[in-house]
Chains A and B, each alone.
Chain A
Amino acid sequence: AQTVTQSQPEMSVQEAETVTLSCTYDTSESNYYLFWYKQPPSRQMILVIRQEAYKQQNATENRFSVNFQKAAKSFSLKISDSQLGDTAMYFCALGQGSSNTGKLIFGQGTTLQVKP
């Protein structure tokens, strides 16, 4: 069975500081995709960053970067220079199959609060 685990239900960070959200997963697939989604209070799902498992280089998107450890099946998200608008629930997701599409398995989510 494929699973995604986020062990931090809630986190907080001061504005302008850096925070790391953890995620571990399990899959028997040799190739897959991993995603981080942001869900603000509006409940819209916003793609933050994605990682292709066969790529060793960690993905980055502006202030967001990941630490992908394939052997350890770990996929953490680092948010640098945190902003008040980063306050949201963050979900780690595993994309099944070898394409960028296909159904997603979500972790439990981490609620992040950025404090002024």
Chain B
Amino acid sequence: GAVVSQHPSWVICKSGTSVKIECRSLDFQATTMFWYRQFPKQSLMLMATSNEGSKATYEQGVEKDKFLINHASLTLSTLTVTSAHPEDSSFYICSADSGKGQPQHFGDGTRLSIL
């Protein structure tokens, strides 16, 4: 089946640093990738939609300058949390869409802890 690899699975860093999370579709080309954020025992909240070769579309309330999304190829999208602060600590999940009528495939998520 289709596989989406998300890296790193867990990262701890100091407040003020930037953190990059990668989302790769390993065996298919992803025309669109989605980035979600999930707080403990809560639902997934869509942050942005990333289309290959174009600017990401951010959901209302998500700071585009804070959460930089790049989708430079059909198999890779990255989310960079800039100048991270403790309130950015969360679980971030990506999903990839092949655009062929199949359901999205989710990565295993990244647990981000900002000290």
Contacts and interface: CB of A to CB of B under 8 A. Distances in A.
Interface residues of B, number: 23
Given A44-B106, A50-B103, A101 B97 contact: yes
Given A109-B42, A111-B41, A104 B109 contact: no
Interface stretch (B15-23, B43-51, B66-74): B43-51
A38 B78 CA distance: 25
Contacts of A111: 41
Contact of B46 (A42, A44, A103): A103
B43 A109 contact: yes
B52 interface: no
Nearest to B100: A101
Given A44-B109, A47-B103, A91 B44 contact: yes
A108 B104 CA distance: 19
Contacts of A103: 34, 46, 49
A12 B45 CA distance: 25
A104 B41 contact: no
B108 A35 contact: no
A99 interface: yes
A91 B43 contact: yes
A42 B98 CA distance: 25
A105 B109 contact: no
B101 A101 contact: yes
B34 A45 contact: no
A8 interface: no
> In the complex, which of the residues B38, B104, B108 has the most CB atoms of chain A within 10 Å of its own CB atom?
B104
B108 A44 contact: yes
